Amino acid sequence: MNKEKQVLALKYRPQNFEDLIGQEVIAETISKGIKQNKVSNAYLFTGIRGVGKTTIARILAKSLNCTAGIENQCKTKCENCDAITNSNHIDVLEIDAASKTGIDDVRELIEFSRYGPTSSKYKIFIIDEVHMLSKQAFNALLKTLEEPPEYLKFIFATTEVKKIPVTVLSRCTRFDLSRVKSDELFKYIKSVSKKENGSISDDVIKLIVRISEGSVRDALSLLDRALISSDDNNKLDIKEAQKIFGYFDKTNLIELFEYLFSGNENKVIDIYRSIYNQGVDPKIFLNDFLEILYYLKNISFIDKNGNNFNLNNDDHDKIVKIAASLENSTLLLFWQFTIKTLSEIEIVSDPNISLEMFLIRLIYLSKKNDLNKFSTDANDEKIASNSDEKSNVVEKKLISETKILDKPNTTIGQIKNIVQEKKIDDNFVKIDTFDNLIHTCVAKKELKLKYELENNVSLVSFENLRIEISFNESLDKNFVKDLSLKLYEWTNQRWIISFSKLQGEIPVNQRKSIKNKKALEEAKVSDIYKKFLKSFSDADLISKKNIGNEND
């Protein structure tokens, strides 16, 4: 196919490890393994769409079978490399597991693997979207994966690694491909635009990077659309690009937030309808709404001159101004409403109506929060009492919708405003540290929660009524709900449990295990143990509880 007529995602597809962007560490690791002749039986590449899983699989296949060797692969193209690039190499079979999912397809594959390569060093099977294989198909692969012939190699690619059985994962060398960083993707797309003689501004390229979310293929596809709409006489500007990509300006959404918190219902609805009339999908609107909430909560941690291209200077300054007058509890409550509305729009015939009602509910909630916050003197109390009758029902309904405690057969106490809230009495406990929380679980006989806290939870921060954690894949899906219930039951206070991208501390039991292992290693090099081995040479120290003074 003529390269000039190819879409950009195919035209600029990397052909060797040096062409890859954003995956340098993985490329270097694989290259070193091949140079040292340490080649795995099976490789697994996982990551989001468009970051290079299938591309790296093909490059790996070329590197293994290149007659010039991996050092000279970029300089000298051999017949094997050309054939693999054109997908017509007899010894490299690329399979789409989405269309060949059954055990019969895998049996044919295994039967075909019995015969050695015809014209190259290795016979290679590249299986794309491998998670689509059936359970029986995976089971049929297991033995061949573990002990394949020396000439046979498997390369798997998937976007959903959790669907692959652990027995298969354990037999593969796994590489997790990360999203390409914004600044790196910006430079790459700009260079491609110049090669294509595109008349596109930097702002449009930043928009492309923002929408693509770290996917190179998505970015190149968007650039393709942008190049079609631009020429030497008509430079594509940001407003035109937003229409082409179906993307609306975040500035409009930030302005909507300003009117939302000031309680101007007419302005909020007008701005939303103008956004809706641009053809913006309701789900996209809600996801962008969540993004602005995130910025409002964490704007102090976001670099104004950063390279994520999500906020320009004006938007950054506006968000700082709005966030200064807001409480975290309000933002977290808004977050819960938005998440709930995302599921609501699936069951209504007109999502547009649902979104308008969602915004109106937030306005009423915002007004009610202001009354509770500022009604401290006699005049304000009078105003609040007059407003309570109208907004109390709304408040109760709104707050009850966001409770994590909406567990069946669970009685939730009546919602009270600040002046009605009960004081903590002697029946409730005070929890002020993570260790204290674990001890409370033991005292209250909540052994399942104790197990999760000690084995699957990494503490990031523990503050008054707020716990921030990271977790591993084994964490129970109901953990947050169960812990929130118990914390309220034990302390008579609402706790916020949030997940963090930070790694956090090592889980408690893992920390204990490391400590015990270290103590055991220290004991094995002690003089008293060495003296003991002189008398009992075949002895082995397997645990240490209490070792007295070595001189005793």
Residue 421 is predicted with a pLDDT of 40
Q: Between 388 and 18, whose confidence is greater?
A: 18
Name the pairing type of β-strands 152-158 and 173-176. unpaired
Residue 311 is predicted with a pLDDT of 66
Percent of the chain with pLDDT over 70: 82
The average pLDDT across 428-445 equals: 88
Cβ(458)–Cβ(504) under 8 Å?
yes
Residue 520 is predicted with a pLDDT of 78
First CA to last CA distance, the chain: 84
Banded model confidence at residue 285, pLDDT cuts 50, 70, 90: confident
Residue 406 is predicted with a pLDDT of 44
Residue 45, H or E segment = strand 42-46
Whether the pLDDT of residue 407 is over 70: the answer is: no
The average pLDDT across 313-328 equals: 82
Residue 262, H or E segment = helix 250-262
Kindly report the number of other CB atoms within 10 A of residue 90's CB atom: 12
Whether the pLDDT of residue 393 is over 50: the answer is: no
pLDDT in tens, 323-376: 888 888 888 888 988 998 888 888 888 888 889 999 998 888 776 554 344 333
- In the three-class reduction of DSSP (H, G, I as helix; E, B as strand; rest coil), residue 151 is classed as coil
Whether the pLDDT of residue 88 is over 80: the answer is: yes
54-58, 446-450, 507-511, range with greatest mean pLDDT: 54-58
Alpha-carbon gap, residue 488 to 494, rounded angstroms: 6
Whether the pLDDT of residue 292 is over 50: the answer is: yes
The average pLDDT across 476-505 equals: 86
Whether the pLDDT of residue 412 is over 60: the answer is: no
- Ramachandran category for residue 220: left, alpha or beta (phi over 0 → left; psi -120 to 50 → alpha): alpha
Whether the pLDDT of residue 283 is over 70: the answer is: yes
Can you say whether the dihedral through the CA atoms of 253, 258, 260, 265 is positive or negative?
negative
Cβ(135)–Cβ(106) under 8 Å?
no
Alpha-carbon gap, residue 462 to 58, rounded angstroms: 47
Banded model confidence at residue 502, pLDDT cuts 50, 70, 90: confident
Beta bridge partners of 345: none
- Ramachandran category for residue 62: left, alpha or beta (phi over 0 → left; psi -120 to 50 → alpha): alpha
Q: Among all chains, which residue has been given the structure tokens 């993004």? A: 291
The average pLDDT across 306-335 equals: 78
Residue 374 is predicted with a pLDDT of 34
Average pLDDT, the chain: 80
Whether the pLDDT of residue 304 is over 70: the answer is: no
pLDDT in tens, 195-228: 988 888 888 898 898 888 889 999 999 999 888 8
Residue 279 is predicted with a pLDDT of 77
pLDDT in tens, 232-275: 667 788 878 877 887 777 778 888 888 888 888 899 999 898 88
Whether the pLDDT of residue 523 is over 90: the answer is: no
Residue 105 is predicted with a pLDDT of 86
> Which domains are assigned to the chain?
3-176 (3.40.50.300), 182-245 (1.10.8), 250-402 (1.20.272.10), 434-499 (no CATH), 508-552 (no CATH)
Cβ(177)–Cβ(52) under 8 Å?
yes
* Lowest mean pLDDT across 47-61, 140-154, 360-374: 360-374
Residue 278 is predicted with a pLDDT of 77
Q: Kindly report the pTM of this predicted structure.
A: 0.59
Residue 85 is predicted with a pLDDT of 87
Q: Between 533 and 418, whose confidence is greater?
A: 533
Alpha-carbon gap, residue 341 to 100, rounded angstroms: 38
